[in-house]
Amino acid sequence: MKKTSTRLADGRELIYYDLADDTVRDAVDRRPLDATVTTSEIRRDELLGDSVAIASHRQGRTYHPPADECPLCPSRDGRLSEIPDSSYDVVVFENRFPSLAGDSGRCEVVCFTSDHDASFASLGERQARLVLDAWTDRTSELSHLPSVEQVFCFENRGAEIGVTLQHPHGQIYAYPFTTPRTALMLRQVAAHKEATGGENLFDAVVERERAGERVVLEGEHWVAFVPYAAHWPYEVHLYPKRRVPDLLGLDEAARTEFPRVYLELLRRFDRIFGEDEPPTPYIAAWHQAPFGQLAEFDGVTRDDFALHLELFTIRRTSGKLKFLAGSESGMNVFINDVPPERAAERLREVASS
């Protein structure tokens, strides 16, 4: 992998990740852009103890442009985009309309390929590995920023999820705090560790699932399963078998196997509802240990956390979505219409031939 860092016309950082070590990236952003102005602010909710990002400048962000005006395609044929070069393998750049900025963190866009009509599932294994390497590199770099406590790499796929740019891409949020969902996990890990005399909760969960009926697929270094208490109609958790706190901890064997396993999962997701259905909308979310102090979680260190990816769709059956209505949105109590055992069975049925 070759990494080349440059700046866009408004001062934002852009990084090329290339498969070939001899690739030259010297294209200049020729757009007449003013400096980016953000109004991101973190406000603490005293009743719930969580945080909300207020980012009014995002109201003007690019919204469903036609394909020939996509800002994530390369700059070609006289049309200038967010990527100055006429081609690329993988690109990461600072979001022009970030939810988090400055002392409030950082937001980046990850373009998985220059092919506008592709998807992550259609990538080859070398390209998917390059995306993994980019995620890992950005996790490392962002973790050293003084304002960053947790790094979150994710992909939103599909208009039903709220995606406004159809080009295959994901995002990275670098939060200035430990996110509420991660804090809940850490509290459960601490309680389990104390109750069992030191057993790791993540290890116990993975061991139990591997022995049960909800495993979707398993490799030498990774295992994917539908969790016992799945919140979403079709939800899969992907774990490396050797527990590590973050992407940086993966060894070469796990990195090598990841593209094959993950691409198979994504391709199965697109088959859940039948070959004639549109592509399955999903969220793919990497859960990594925070980089800050974990003193509030009694006896827990970063090494007690387990890196894993959670992949889920809001489509519950053909032509129908799972909406977060009263119970889910009002009380955070999920109601799942698809039994996890049936979801796992279906995801095994649609294995690639």
Active site residues: 169
Q: What is the CA radius of gyration of the chain?
A: 20
In sequence order, the β-bridge partners of residue 7 are 13
Element (H, E) at 170: strand 169-175
Under 8 Å CB-to-CB from 253, ≥6 apart: which residues? 220, 221
DSSP string covering 287-332, please?
Answer: E---SS--TTSTT--GGGS--EEEEEESEEETTEE----IIIIIH-
For residue 79 the two structure tokens come to 């049309």
d(CA 121, CA 262): 8
In sequence order, the β-bridge partners of residue 170 are 110
Q: Which residue has the tokens 């259609």?
A: 122
Under 8 Å CB-to-CB from 345, ≥6 apart: which residues? none
